[in-house]
Structure 1
């Protein structure tokens, strides 16, 4: 009988030990899972912050290059003769024969179009004045895809000042980049080519001295 009680005590002790070992094992597993989740979350946050910093730095460097006068060579646009900067009246709108489409110089209104993105066409006589004041004008066909419009709009908002984007129904190409006496036509959204053009010509004043 005493042997039986000893066996029972031993078995109970062994069961308690097994339960305790199982509990400890579960706790260790939960801790490992917790550390794994924390590690992955930290890595994801690090990648997110690093990616944001990279693109912000890239954008700032692109804008700073223009503002500091470090202008890249332009190898894709075409030059046009300077048609002058005479101011005209509103009644003369549509009567000027420009030498490019869209215009890159010539008679224009005394007022400018507002900078930034436009969803509706703007009279070219306003936009030409913007070019004289150092703007880069991005003309896009109204039937350009929604995705490319969004890409253009994001780029325009990034630069902010001295850039304007307008829909131009008469365009023969999907996108055209205009500066004073310079024009580049694109078959679609090309971020690097647009940036190069903007950096080459943005903020150059063309008023006659």
Structure 2
């Protein structure tokens, strides 16, 4: 074979190789485009979001139905009451504990944004505050001044709490949340802080975080 013939053959082979590479490249591009069209990205994103939302809802439901938290379980002496009515009434309600732990109550709540009251509160308004997640700290009139000052320091400026005298209660000091109550003898008792941590907007509260101001501002 002559030199010119060999040169033509090489050029023809080179041209053929370039054509083959071009066809392979076009085939790959068509395949990738087909894959992109076939993958339902919109559906994948939608169902991923649905899955995340469902997982969060299941976790929330679990937390709501689980037993007492470690903080709650560690507080000795707490009395619990379940199945309390949440009906609204403008009339007087006969409660079976003093202070009441919940039940039917006035449509207007007592302001409980760290309020210190120097006179007894109306039970029916205070109970509405408990429904919103407040802890009601009460003391028997005649409590020593240093004891009362300790209670004021706990409540003053602490959101979702209120302090007031409560004539006739069984112990010098009582802490009450919706469905929970602790009677104490001394304002230095460490269980006061534990109770506040566990029950200010606690898990047993029917409407945790609902308004605690803008309503009844006087005893």
Name the TM-score, length of structure 1 as normaliser: 0.60
Residue 80 of structure 1: how far off its partner (Å): 1.6
Partner-residue secondary structure (3-state), 1:121: coil
Residue 170 of structure 1: how far off its partner (Å): 1.9
Question: Deviations 1:140-165 (Å, cap 9, x if unpaired)?
Answer: 1111111111110011125x210011
* Residue 96 (structure 2) aligned to one of 96, 99, 102: 99
For residue 76 of structure 2, what is the aligned residue in structure 1?
Answer: 75
Residues 82 and 105, structure 1, Cα contact 8 Å, conserved in 2: no
Residue 82 to residue 165, structure 1, CA distance change in 2 (3 Å): farther
Residue 76 of structure 1: how far off its partner (Å): 2.2
For residue 165 of structure 1, what is the aligned residue in structure 2?
Answer: 163
Aligned-partner Cα distance in 1 for 2:130–2:72? 19
Q: Spell out the pairing of 1:45-84 with structure 2 (5 A cutoff).
A: 71-73=71-73, 74-84=75-85
For residue 183 of structure 2, what is the aligned residue in structure 1?
Answer: 185
Residues 161 and 200, structure 2, Cα contact 8 Å, conserved in 1: yes
Name the TM-score, length of structure 2 as normaliser: 0.57
Structure 1 residue ranges, 4+ long, deviating more than 6 angstroms after superposition:
none
Considering only CA atoms, is the larger Rg found in Structure 1 or Structure 2?
A: 2
Residues 138 and 175, structure 1, Cα contact 8 Å, conserved in 2: yes
Residue 134 of structure 1: how far off its partner (Å): 0.3
Which one has the bigger helix percentage? Answer: 1
Q: Which runs of 5+ in 2 are unaligned?
A: 1-68, 209-219
Q: Which runs of 5+ in 1 are unaligned?
A: 1-68
Residues 137 and 178, structure 1, Cα contact 8 Å, conserved in 2: yes
For residue 156 of structure 1, what is the aligned residue in structure 2?
Answer: 155
Aligned-partner Cα distance in 1 for 2:126–2:83? 15
Aligned-partner Cα distance in 1 for 2:183–2:136? 12
Question: Deviations 1:183-209 (Å, cap 9, x if unpaired)?
Answer: 11011213411000111111134149x
Aligned-partner Cα distance in 2 for 1:172–1:70? 28
* Residue 114 (structure 1) aligned to one of 104, 111, 114: 111
For residue 86 of structure 2, what is the aligned residue in structure 1?
Answer: 85
Partner-residue secondary structure (3-state), 1:198: helix
Aligned-partner Cα distance in 1 for 2:96–2:169? 14
Residue 83 of structure 1: how far off its partner (Å): 2.2
